Amino acid sequence: MSIFSRQNSRGSAAIQIQGLHKNFGEYKVLNNLSLEVKRGEIFGFLGLNGAGKTTTIKTLLALLKPTSGQLYMLGEKIDAGNYKLWDKVGYLEEATFYPDLTVSENLDIARRMQGVSDGESVKRVMGKLGLEPHKKKKAKHLSLGNKQRLGLAKAMIHNPEILILDEPINGLDPAGVAEIRNMLDDLAGNSGVTIFLSSHLLEELSKVATRIGIIHKGHLIQEMEMGKLEQSLQKNLVLAGRDAKALKGVLKEHGYEFEETKDGHFKLTASQAVENPERLAELLVKANQPPTMLRVITEDLEGYFLRTIGMVRGTN
């Protein structure tokens, strides 16, 4: 069987976390975290530093024991003693390697430790990740981007059903980022690999994830299909004119709510303005205050994320 050619088996849960709590002494890191990742999906896991992303990943990998709660992968309970499960899971938490060994030696060790008998898999994964030209280079002499590629290659050498990746595009140049993005797309779309992806590069995550989950203070506060995100993103109408005072008067006169930005522009969030910008433009022209700038700006994922976190902060 060639690498990355597993049957696509969408539908059932690849990862299930139920009521997960994790305390370090008095400090509660994870607080009743529950989530489910379906097979074949790319799940983007977002959160601020200290939100509990890495602790969640380490608990999934049985590197940490949950204080309470249940974790399953591919229907099997996660436990340090259930080591056979790692045959189906690849992970990249931090690109690590044996520094004095070459790229191909590091991969060969990963292959053997994963129990892959096919020696050609090293060559294939090097080709897939563009590491072929560096195969004889000691790992410690690799660039940051190539170290990250080596980490990914180790995670994928055994053709896993689930890939757990923590910041996988760290250190990659824009071309490398696009390459990895396409590869993840291909793995999930064509080979049915489930990808659990944690990243702080929210824009990149929005390009590759099929669903996102936002973790805040150890609790999952939002889960959403990427297709539905568009509807949830806030839209603002931003406008400017030659005479700000007069423009303000016109807006007030016609009942538009607005706020003034630091750069002297006006930001309108009401749907009557955002959905009908041409009506507002016409009105301003008629009032002899034609706008010098009028734009509908859609919130990006980062803005949405910060707003969601802010909302939760506000309720706390």
Partner 1 sequence: MTIFSILHCEIRKIIRSNVFGLVFLVFAFGPIMMGVGILSGDGGDLNWQIYLEELVKNLAALGLIGYTFIAAWVFGREFTDKTMKDLLVKPVSRLRIVMSKLLVVLAWNVLLSVYMFAVSLAIGGVLGLTGWSAILIGHIFLRFVVTSLLFIVVTTPGIFLANVSKGYLAPLALILVIVICSNVLASMGFAPYFPWTIPGVFQSTGFLNLSSIIILALTGIAGVVGTFVWWRYAEQP
Q: Interface residues with partner 1 (CB under 8 A)?
A: 24, 58, 61-65, 80-81, 83-87, 89, 91, 93-94, 96-101, 105, 109-110, 112-115, 154
φ, ψ of residue 43 in degrees (nearest 5)? -100, 120
Task: Compute the least distance from the CB of residue 16 to partner 1, in Å.
Answer: 18
Task: Compute the least distance from the CB of residue 171 to partner 1, in Å.
Answer: 15
CB half-sphere exposure, 32, CA atoms < 13 A = 1
Task: Compute the least distance from the CB of residue 13 to partner 1, in Å.
Answer: 20
Polymer length in residues for the chain:
316
Closest alpha carbon to 8 in 47, 51, 41: 41
Per the CB < 8 A criterion, the answer to whether 142 and 103 are in contact is yes
Task: Compute the least distance from the CB of residue 125 to partner 1, in Å.
Answer: 15
Q: Which of residues 3 and 284 has its CB atom nearest to partner 1 in the complex?
A: 3
Q: Which of residues 94 and 203 has its CB atom nearest to partner 1 in the complex?
A: 94
Q: Which of residues 146 and 206 has its CB atom nearest to partner 1 in the complex?
A: 146
Q: Which of residues 63 and 144 has its CB atom nearest to partner 1 in the complex?
A: 63
Task: Compute the least distance from the CB of residue 94 to partner 1, in Å.
Answer: 6
Per the CB < 8 A criterion, the answer to whether 52 and 33 are in contact is yes
Q: Which alpha helices (H) appear in 168-211, and where do they start and end?
A: 174-191, 202-208
Q: Which residues contact 111 (CB under 8 A, 6 or more apart)?
A: 119, 121, 122, 157, 158
Per the CB < 8 A criterion, the answer to whether 142 and 85 are in contact is no
| β-strands 68-73, 13-24 pairing | antiparallel
Taking the C-alpha atoms of residue 211 and residue 228, their distance in angstroms, rounded to an integer, is 9
Task: Compute the least distance from the CB of residue 52 to partner 1, in Å.
Answer: 13
Q: Which of residues 151 and 291 has its CB atom nearest to partner 1 in the complex?
A: 151
Taking the C-alpha atoms of residue 279 and residue 274, their distance in angstroms, rounded to an integer, is 10
Q: Which of residues 114 and 272 has its CB atom nearest to partner 1 in the complex?
A: 114
